[in-house]
């Protein structure tokens, strides 16, 4: 019942925080969020399983309870973790606690509702990463959209309503496309499945696949579903050309919402691609490997080039997320142990680094009330600790050895270069060029904004950031270095869960 405890504490905590007085809401939410964080770390230390929950039934902390009967199909409460989902659950709980602490300075209006929504997001994110029944998973998937829409629309910047509506429309339409495609697949499997349990559907797909539907033969139906689901998840990732909602959402969102959006919500898309497309459709992965690899490389290069053209620090970090998620897609399509394992490692690494970067940018904005690199210089003189952490996070983004970004990119490039799809070395080499562009836009921004003589266009007094703004960044930096120095803290459990995917589940 540990998974239920994680979700329940966050949900009940959200309700309690909603009705708490504003003056204590932030501290109360932080205290409540420490419980799921501690529980998830305990689950991580107690985890001794190996294998993939969908393919060979190797599932830790499993709960399975029949819920609803819909004709021939049953819906159940079915949750658990394996080596793919557990690191993302821990990432979610830790980032939530740190995001709440980072909110204490900038959030001073309707605090009870703000912190309640943060905890509500946490509960549903845990559900997304642990649910193994499609209907249950989809409920959690959709429920994440509502609080993020409200966080952007209520506490965001001047164009918050536009950004919130754009975020909701893009992601909701994508969800409908994905949902319709997967339901068609379940019906197409015929007598092969009797429930919406993802392990049963995955095994049916790998033991013959769909029989056909709507006049489409089985192979054609599988290809149509694969493409539709890929497009639906690609919006959430996001990859080019479905990325246009992301910069607006990040720029207008309050800093804590940006931390969770980049740190965890984007991983919903890549996690779903791994769980659904790259686990259940191995033949289609091979068929469409070249166009998927092309999309990945375009996202890497184009996202980095867009970041290079920005002067807003938040937009720079936002576009860098598009580039970083391109590396994840490249690792997945490589379909090798290091490629898929590295992609999953990159999900965690990017969650930590992007969370750190958005927090650092938020701390600078709290003091200067501007994010434009053309409006400031010499911030290191006035905010040496915050700027030092920002520089360290930027080097993590650039893949400095002994930081998690280096380990993730090494795994992906090593796995992708030796992949079997056509032109794999060429695609990998092109993607590696993205690192050069990343260094270009980050070094330009740092050179202009934090070094040199002190100047500030806005009329604010800049001083050292308070401890509660600095402490969350120190924690994230420590985790980034820990995973860079000892990647096997999570990489071994990830590869144990990835291996059955590459072998078709040994079916």
Q: Residue by residue, what is the 3-state secondary structure of 461-500?
A: CCCCCCHHHHHHHHHHHHHHHHHHHCHHHCHHHHHHHHHH
Could you give phi then psi for residue 248, rounded to 5 degrees? -60, -45
The average pLDDT across 107-131 equals 95
Q: If phi over 0 gives left and psi between -120 and 50 gives alpha, with beta otherwise, what is residue 175?
A: alpha
Range with the largest mean pLDDT of 455-459, 463-467, 470-474: 470-474
Give the count of alpha carbons within 13 A of 30, CB side only. Answer: 14
Q: What is the pLDDT of residue 11?
A: 96
Q: How confident is the model at residue 57 (pLDDT cuts 50, 70, 90)?
A: low
| Residue 97 predicted with pLDDT over 60 | yes
| Residue 372 predicted with pLDDT over 80 | yes
| Residue 504 predicted with pLDDT over 70 | no
Q: What is the pLDDT of residue 447?
A: 87
Three-state DSSP at 101 gives helix
Angle between the N-to-C axes of helices 22-46 and 85-102, in degrees from 0 to 180, rounded to the nearest 10? 160
The helix (run of H) or strand (run of E) holding residue 73 is: strand 73-81
User: How many separate helices (H) and strands (E) can be counted in the chain?
Assistant: 23, 6
What is the DSSP pairing of strand 216-217 with strand 455-456?
A: unpaired
User: What's the distance, CA 11 to chain centroid?
Assistant: 21
In degrees to the nearest 10, what's the CA dihedral of 376, 444, 409, 277? 70
| Residue 115 predicted with pLDDT over 50 | yes
Q: What is the pLDDT of residue 486?
A: 96
Q: What is the pLDDT of residue 462?
A: 84
* Residues sharing a CB contact under 8 Å with residue 12, sequence separation 6 or more, in sequence order: none
Range with the largest mean pLDDT of 395-404, 448-457, 474-483: 474-483
The DSSP bridge partners found for residue 131 are: 79
Three-state DSSP at 217 gives strand
> Which residue is listed with tokens 């109360």?
28
Q: What is the pLDDT of residue 391?
A: 93
Q: What is the pLDDT of residue 506?
A: 41
Per-residue DSSP letter, 72: T
The average pLDDT across 287-308 equals 94
The helix (run of H) or strand (run of E) holding residue 437 is: helix 424-449
pLDDT in tens, 116-127: 999 999 999 999
The helix (run of H) or strand (run of E) holding residue 75 is: strand 73-81
Could you give phi then psi for residue 348, rounded to 5 degrees? -70, -45
* Residue 97 to residue 91: CA distance in whole angstroms: 10
What average pLDDT is seen over the chain?
A: 91
The helix (run of H) or strand (run of E) holding residue 66 is: strand 60-70
DSSP of 276-291, one letter per residue? Answer: IIHHH-HHHHHHTHHH
Which tokens hold the place of 305? 């080039």
Q: Is the dihedral of CA 399, 402, 405, 409 positive or negative?
A: positive
DSSP of 130-182, one letter per residue? Answer: HB-BHHHHHHHHHHTHHHHHHHHHHHS-TTHHHHHHHHHHHHHHHHHHHHHHH
In the chain, what percentage of residues exceed pLDDT 70?
Answer: 99
In degrees to the nearest 10, what's the CA dihedral of 447, 453, 459, 464? 80
Q: How confident is the model at residue 452 (pLDDT cuts 50, 70, 90)?
A: confident
* Residue 229 to residue 280: CA distance in whole angstroms: 12
The average pLDDT across 419-433 equals 92
User: What's the distance, CA 368 to chain centroid?
Assistant: 29
The average pLDDT across 419-446 equals 90
Better pLDDT: 69 or 144: 144
Which tokens hold the place of 142? 């959709």
The helix (run of H) or strand (run of E) holding residue 12 is: helix 2-19
Q: What is the pLDDT of residue 505?
A: 45
pLDDT in tens, 234-282: 999 999 888 889 889 988 999 999 999 999 999 999 999 999 999 999 9
Q: How far is residue 404 from each of residues 324, 332, 397, 490, measured CA to CA in Å?
A: 13, 18, 9, 11
Three-state DSSP at 418 gives coil
Range with the largest mean pLDDT of 96-100, 168-172, 319-323, 422-426: 96-100
Q: What is the pLDDT of residue 98?
A: 96
C-beta of residue 75 within 8 angstroms of C-beta of residue 133: yes
* Residues sharing a CB contact under 8 Å with residue 488, sequence separation 6 or more, in sequence order: none
The average pLDDT across 8-14 equals 96
Q: What is the pLDDT of residue 268?
A: 95
Q: If phi over 0 gives left and psi between -120 and 50 gives alpha, with beta otherwise, what is residue 335?
A: left
Q: How far is residue 225 from each of residues 132, 213, 284, 302, 335, measured CA to CA in Å?
A: 19, 11, 10, 27, 19
Better pLDDT: 50 or 394: 394
| Residue 438 predicted with pLDDT over 90 | no
Domain residue spans of the chain: 2-504
pLDDT in tens, 191-235: 878 889 999 999 888 888 788 777 788 889 999 999 999 999 999
């Amino acid at each position: 019942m540990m998974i239920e405890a994680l979700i329940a504490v966050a949900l009940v905590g959200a309700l309690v925080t909603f009705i708490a007085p504003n003056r204590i809401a932030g501290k109360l939410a932080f205290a409540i969020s420490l419980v799921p964080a501690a529980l998830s770390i305990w689950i991580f230390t107690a985890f001794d399983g190996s294998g993939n929950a969908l393919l060979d039934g190797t599932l830790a902390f499993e709960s399975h309870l029949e819920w609803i009967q819909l004709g021939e199909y049953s819906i159940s409460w079915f949750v658990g973790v394996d080596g793919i989902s557990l690191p993302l659950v821990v990432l979610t709980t830790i980032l939530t606690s740190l995001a709440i602490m980072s909110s204490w300075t900038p959030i001073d209006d309707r605090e009870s509702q703000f912190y309640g929504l943060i905890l509500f997001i946490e509960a549903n994110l845990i559900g997304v990463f642990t649910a193994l029944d499609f209907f249950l998973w989809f409920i959690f998937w959709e429920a994440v959209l509502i609080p993020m829409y409200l966080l952007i629309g209520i506490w965001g910047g001047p164009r918050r309503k536009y950004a919130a509506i754009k975020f909701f429309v893009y992601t909701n339409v994508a969800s409908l496309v994905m949902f319709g495609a997967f339901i068609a697949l379940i019906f197409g499997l015929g007598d092969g499945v009797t429930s919406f349990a993802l392990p049963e559907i995955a095994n049916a797909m790998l033991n013959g696949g769909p029989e056909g539907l709507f006049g489409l033969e089985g192979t054609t139906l599988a290809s149509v579903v694969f493409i539709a689901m890929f497009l639906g998840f690609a919006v959430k990732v996001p990859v080019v050309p479905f990325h246009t909602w992301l910069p607006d959402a990040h720029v207008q969102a309050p800093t804590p919402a940006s931390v969770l959006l980049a740190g965890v919500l984007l991983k919903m898309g890549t996690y779903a691609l791994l769980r659904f497309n790259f686990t259940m459709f191995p033949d289609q992965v091979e068929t469409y490997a070249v166009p998927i690899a092309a999309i990945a490389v375009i996202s890497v290069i184009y996202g980095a080039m867009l970041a290079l053209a920005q002067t807003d620090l938040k937009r720079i970090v936002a576009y860098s997320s598009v580039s970083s998620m391109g590396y994840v897609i490249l690792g997945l399509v490589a379909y090798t142990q290091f490629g898929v394992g590295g992609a999953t490692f990159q999900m965690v690494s990017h969650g930590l680094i992007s969370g750190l970067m958005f927090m650092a940018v938020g701390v600078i904005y709290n003091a200067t009330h501007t994010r434009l690199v053309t409006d400031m210089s010499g911030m290191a003189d006035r905010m040496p600790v915050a700027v030092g952490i920002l520089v360290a996070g930027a080097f993590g983004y650039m893949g400095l050895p002994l930081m998690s970004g280096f380990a993730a990119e090494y795994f992906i490039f090593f796995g992708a270069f030796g992949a079997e799809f056509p032109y794999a070395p060429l695609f990998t080499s092109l993607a590696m060029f993205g690192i050069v562009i990343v260094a270009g836009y980050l070094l330009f921004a740092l050179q202009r904004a934090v070094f040199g003589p002190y100047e500030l266009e806005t009329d604010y007094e800049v001083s050292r950031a308070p401890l509660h703004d600095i402490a969350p960044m120190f924690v994230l930096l420590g985790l980034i270095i820990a995973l860079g120095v000892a990647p096997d803290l999570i990489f071994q459990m990830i590869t144990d869960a990835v291996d059955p995917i590459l072998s078709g589940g040994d079916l």
